[in-house]
Structure 1
Amino acid sequence: MDTNMQIIRVDETQWQAVTDDAVVGHGDFSPRPAPDGRRYVSIDVWDDAAFAPLAAAMLTALPAPLRTLVAGDDAALASHWERAGFVPERQEWEYVLSTAGRDPRPAPGVAVLPAGTADEARLRLLDREIRAEVEASSGWYSMPAEVRPGPPGDTLIDPSLYAVAVHEGRYAGLVRVVRTGRGPARIGLLAVRAAHQRQGIGRSLLAHALHALHETGTSTARAEVDRSRTAATALLEGFGAERTGHLLHLVHP
């Protein structure tokens, strides 16, 4: 570390690296809401020598585990984080989809309840069941979906964001769409219960979501998929999704 460099904690979430009264880097902490519990840090430097001391100061002050996101083509930044003790956790493809020309008719035997029309109690139960199934298999960390805090062991559900697929009389799958101002909407979560998979439910939900967005004047939607989830990748690419990049998720245990 440059002996003239100082690491200053500006507030609860920000640090600065200062050399000769000039700021040469800063670090930021962005806690995610429980029960997701993931906490993210980021560092931006104008002097590479500032990265390691900033990372060390943040790691000392903040509770583990900490995570960060790096563009998949930014090998230099990934190397900085790895030297600070972070290890790759997963990689995520980024996609953009056109909403035009989608046939909203669901697969035979499947009905889709538009966003805001599902029974909230049954939707909450479906959400808990899907989370438990994912956690028992690939792990919920592999799903690029934020959650909001709710009662212990539960999450808050806003029915206006979720369309639900009904199959054999049961709530079988859901898709959550988040609108982000004037930018593309985001397919924040698409999941189907294990007992109802391979029935065209995922395709029905995605087609419905894209058609609904098109009807309200939204021309594109974005989505992120863990590279290990081949079925989800195939679904998006089957809809003509354009791969725009990928993200590397790193964690400091």
Structure 2
Amino acid sequence: MNTKPFTSGLSGNAVMITRVADRQWHALDDDLVVGRGHAEHRPDGRLFVSIDAWRDATFDRLAEAMLAGGLIRVVTVKRPRIGLVAVRAGEQRRGIARALLAHALGTMHRSGFAAAWTEVQEPNRAASALFEGIGARPMSSNLELVR
């Protein structure tokens, strides 16, 4: 089990990033889990990385720990791709996907990107409405976000 402390969180104590299992990390603040990181291989061989944290600093530290563990690869891109915006079924229709997307787009914008691309399956009307609602437009058979 590897730990890495950093100051932030609910209390005045340092939040600890701990690798709790193969491809799983927790951010702990006084024994309270305040963030989780998980990676798993999809059936097509791609690696799916999930980081769940309420605070940006906790999210960043979990990403750093996963990067150090060799699970996240940072590459220079010409146009970023939004690979997946997903919300659990019981939590849908509450603005969570829009907030996730706004955060991702804000991060891209601050990093100097003016456009991104994504793929939306045509039958998924909610996803199409989400992306079109923020200014995305169809490009050939893909929906492309250009801002």
Tell me the TM-score normalized by structure 2. Answer: 0.51
Larger radius of gyration: 1
Cα deviations by residue, 1:8-64 (Å, 9 ceiling, x for unpaired): 11111211111111111111102124xx44212111112332010000001111345
Greater RCO (Cα-Cα under 8 Å, separation 6 or more):
1
Relative distance call for 1:28 and 1:75 in structure 2 (3 A) is: same
Q: Is the CA contact (8 Å cut-off) linking 2:39 and 2:71 kept in structure 1?
A: no
| Structure-2 residue corresponding to 1:42 | 50
AA partner of residue 50 (structure 1):
T
Q: Is the CA contact (8 Å cut-off) linking 2:42 and 2:48 kept in structure 1?
A: yes
| Structure-1 residue corresponding to 2:36 | 26
CA distance in 2, matches of 1:27, 1:57: 9
Equivalent of residue 84 in structure 2, options 69, 72, 84: 69
Unpaired segments ≥5 residues, structure 1: 98-226, 234-245, 249-253
Corresponding residue SS for 1:93: coil
AA partner of residue 20 (structure 1):
D
Cα deviations by residue, 1:124-169 (Å, 9 ceiling, x for unpaired): xxxxxxxxxxxxxxxxxxxxxxxxxxxxxxxxxxxxxxxxxxxxxx
Q: Is the CA contact (8 Å cut-off) linking 1:31 and 1:39 kept in structure 2?
A: yes
Give the count of matched residue pairs. Answer: 100
| Structure-2 residue corresponding to 1:166 | none
Q: Where does structure 1 differ by over 4 angstroms across 4 or more consecutive aligned residues? A: 77-84
CA distance in 2, matches of 1:247, 1:27: 29
| Structure-2 residue corresponding to 1:2 | 7
Cα deviations by residue, 1:96-118 (Å, 9 ceiling, x for unpaired): 27xxxxxxxxxxxxxxxxxxxxx
Tell me the TM-score normalized by structure 1. Answer: 0.32
CA RMSD across the alignment = 3.7
Cα deviations by residue, 1:179-223 (Å, 9 ceiling, x for unpaired): xxxxxxxxxxxxxxxxxxxxxxxxxxxxxxxxxxxxxxxxxxxxx
Alpha-carbon shift at residue 65 of structure 1 (Å): 3.8
CA distance in 2, matches of 1:83, 1:89: 13
Q: Is the CA contact (8 Å cut-off) linking 2:83 and 2:118 kept in structure 1?
A: no
CA distance in 2, matches of 1:62, 1:11: 14
AA partner of residue 46 (structure 2):
R
AA partner of residue 70 (structure 1):
V
CA distance in 1, matches of 2:38, 2:120: 24
CA distance in 2, matches of 1:47, 1:27: 13
AA partner of residue 56 (structure 2):
D
AA partner of residue 103 (structure 2):
A
Relative distance call for 1:12 and 1:89 in structure 2 (3 A) is: farther
Corresponding residue SS for 1:28: strand
Q: Is the CA contact (8 Å cut-off) linking 2:66 and 2:72 kept in structure 1?
A: no
Relative distance call for 1:49 and 1:65 in structure 2 (3 A) is: closer
